[in-house]
Amino acid sequence: KMFPVGMLACCMLLYVLSLFIWDIRIEGNRARSTDVLLTYLAEEQIVHGMRKRDVDCKEIQTMLRIHFPDLTWVSARVTGTQLLIRVRENQDPKTEQPEAANTSESSDLVADRAGIITGILVRSGTAQVQPGDEVEAGTVLISGTVDIRDDSGEAVGVQEVRADGDVRARTFYIYEDSFARSHEVRYFTGKKRYGVSIKAGRKLLSFTDPRTFSLYTTVETEHPLHLTGNFYLPLSFGLIERAEYEVYTEKYTAEEAKGLAEAHLNEFLNNLLQKGVQIVGNDVKIDNGRNFCVSKGKIEVLEEIGIPKIRQKEQAAFE
């Protein structure tokens, strides 16, 4: 008699469980981590254990696109007891333009760094500098004004425009980097302790070996239970692994320190190259001291230095 009763209770339990969301899966995200997206969804009350009837897929799609502008496409659907969210990120985000570039107000093009002008191309406005001129940060490179001339070529007025053009200059970056040659190194002893965890809903129970290590790393894996491909249950099992390690203090050899300093310098140079900067000179010197490795020097580059700046009304009126 108890067997059919148990079967009936089991079927009723499965039916009740099928009314809730027990797994939220996010696919297609790279720049935005799954934890970040899940945290935002939790703030909007989209959580594990919620009723399926309370899930509004269209609203979830809209919320994610509004809150994360870099998500160009979002799809949400409920399959079984799983909420599956697929996203597509903007792989080539456009560089944000300065405020003056998106306004109809007149503006100048000014230098954002000091340097020596090597070339200038004016598309709109009036050039204020020539190749060979030395400028400081804030110097007006292209003025947002254009002379209005009559048929005889005489200036009869001034028209305000949004200055636009390319201004390249030879500039310099001061590079400084230092690090201690002594550093701590982890060595794993090979000793490990294991444990298991059980997660029911939002409650987590852990059963680990009472013996522990003074220094160790922890790796936890979780395996949710599901009856079918998308019928997840509010129960999961996990494995906990703790690996012992010891810390020793070592010192970089001269070759290792130099290699690390060069790696830091190459990373700095690559960041410049990614910004479209052309490197023409590098006199950075690496000094391997007894306790510290120090890199100092100057990097000479060619780059565009013009940035828009809205013209002040009183300045424009005066001119």
> Which pLDDT score is estimated for 132?
93
Tokens of 190: 């090979």
b/e for 231-254, b at 16 or more Cβ within 10 A?
Answer: bbbbebebebebbbbeeeeeebee
b/e for 165-178, b at 16 or more Cβ within 10 A?
Answer: bebbbbbebebebe
Q: Are 180 and 187 in contact (CB under 8 A)?
A: no
Tokens of 14: 């499965």
Residue 255's CB is within 10 A of a number of other CB atoms, namely 9
> Which pLDDT score is estimated for 91?
61
Tokens of 248: 């020793």
Calculate the CA dihedral of residues 285, 275, 309, 153 and round it to 10 degrees.
100
Q: 99 — alpha (psi -120 to 50), left (phi > 0) or beta?
A: alpha
> Which pLDDT score is estimated for 96?
45
> Which pLDDT score is estimated for 303?
93
Closest CA to 192 of 130, 156, 240, 150: 240
Phi, psi of 168 (to 5 degrees): -105, 145
Q: Are 78 and 56 in contact (CB under 8 A)?
A: no
Residues of the chain with pLDDT under 50: 93-103, 314-319
